[in-house]
Structure 1
């Protein structure tokens, strides 16, 4: 087998891998768009339940004036994200924070309507979609880097011929 035959074989392999990576890129883009649509519909649904809560409790009970400001006491977020390595891939993962957390439901009173609880659950679900979307974005960027490496390799093979 000559060097030219080896280059042709490597070029075919590189083209095949490039095709596969491009198809994967398209599937990842489609998956990301689906997640973004899920985020949009979930947030709209959560806002609907917030509006219902505001209607039930009154305008002043559920408003931005009840939210903490810069002069409020400090507290830790109840949900945080951390980066983990799984099967050689970097991913984001939601982690519940147990220490020094404040229940945001208490900002609006002790007896809050069920719609406010539903809105909280819906927004927590939206966080899951956001993390999934971010993980897909990480995969898209990694896949794009691999495509560029293969293109450079292919260009190198053609220049050797």
Structure 2
């Protein structure tokens, strides 16, 4: 099942790329969808892993480990997949994030996710898509705030990160 979302933000593509790509392991410092995160290793490249701890939503309670499977700084795009910690209602999950410059110090960020459900859950695919869409909207809301204001949303700051 494919889940795609885009958002236009009032920030340069370069700033968005630094936050999303160079800061791949730091996602927990600016979004409400991840409590804590860290990068294994020193730099983001194919094979790099990010560990994310989540305490709410469909991924709550587990540490999700994600691995970069494609990385192209020139095109400002990268892909990653979950390698451990997915909830039982997902067989696999991967996502591609891309940043596109727009006119006037703006950019578009596009997420192209693909999830595989176990056979017994396929009939409920639309409901799963809605639930995951909610998480993605929260992620984009947090991302937009961080890029446009230079600081995380107050809810993230209140966590003490």
Query: Which category of TM-score, normalised to the shorter sequence, fits these structures?
Result: under 0.3
Please, what TM-score do these two structures have when normalized by structure 1? Answer: 0.25
Q: Which has the larger radius of gyration?
A: 1
More helix by share: 1
Please, what TM-score do these two structures have when normalized by structure 2? Answer: 0.25
More strand by share: 2
